[in-house]
Amino acid sequence: KNQVEQSPQSLIILEGKNCTLQCNYTVSPFSNLRWYKQDTGRGPVSLTIMTFSENTKSNGRYTATLDADTKQSSLHITASQLSDSASYICVVSARNTDKLIFGTGTRLQVFP
Amino acid sequence: NAGVTQTPKFQVLKTGQSMTLQCAQDMNHEYMSWYRQDPGMGLRLIHYSVGAGITDQGEVPNGYNVSRSTTEDFPLRLLSAAPSQTSVYFCASSYVYGSQGPPYEQYFGPGTRLTVT
C-alpha cells in the first residue's frame, strides 16, 4: 500500500536554531515528492517539488533532500523564524495513479 | 489574480441538510480537486476534474457530488450531511493532471471548516 510517514509528529525549537524533518515513503513507482507548509487555518503552500533525478532542492531557508534508493526525504530549516511555526506536509506522487499521497505532517513550533 | 478561492470559510449544518461548497480559480487551470483534512490524517482526495465536463471519484467520494461546467468553478455538494463529514475541506488546482510530464505546482484554497451536528 502506498504510504507516506513523517517524523517527528511535533517539534519545538528556539528561534534561530536549525531543524530537520523526516519523510519516509513506500510509494512505487515513484514520480515526485513535494513539501508543503500549512499555517494554522490556511491551505497548504508548496515549498519544493523534486523528481527522481533530483536529490536536493532549496527554497530560501528551506532545503529538501531526496534519496530515492532508501525512499527517504528530509526538510531542513535553517535559522528558524517565528513565522516558520506551521505544519509541514510531505506528499508523494505515484506514476501509475497520478494521485498525491499525503503524510500526516510535522507540527513545528518556534519560540522566541 | 486571486488564485483559488473558497466559500464559505465556516459552515455549521444539521444532520440531513444539504449544501454546496464553492471553489473557483482564475489561473485557467485544467485540473481541480477537492480534499478533506481530518485530525491525525493526511489530506484525502474526494473528487477531481481534469477539465470542464469531466469529473471522477477520489479516495473518499461517498456522500459528495461534484460538477465542472466551466474551467473556473468546481463546486462540491453534500447531499445529506452526516457528522462524519465534519472536516476542513480544501479545493486545489493545477495546470495539468498526471505525472508523465514535469510536475506542476498544485495551489490550494484557504479551506472551508464544516461542522455537522
For residue B97, name the pLDDT band (cuts at 50, 70, 90).
low
Chain B residues with beta carbon closer than 8 angstroms to that of A24:
none
Tens digit of each residue's pLDDT (9 = 90 or more) over A45-55: 999 999 988 99
For residue A98, name the pLDDT band (cuts at 50, 70, 90).
low
pLDDT at residue A21 tops 80: yes
Chain A residues with beta carbon closer than 8 angstroms to that of B90:
43-44
Of A106, A51, A56, A57, the closest CA to residue A84 belongs to: A106
Preferred mutation among B43, B47, B107 to probe A, highest tally of A CBs within 10 A: B43
B34 to A109, B19, B57, B69, B91: CA distances (angstroms): 28, 15, 10, 16, 5
pLDDT at residue A8 tops 80: yes
Angle among Cα A19, A22, A25 to the nearest 5 degrees reads 165
pLDDT at residue A4 tops 90: yes
Contact check, Cβ <8 Å, A44/B97 = no
Tens digit of each residue's pLDDT (9 = 90 or more) over B1-23: 789 999 999 999 999 999 999 99
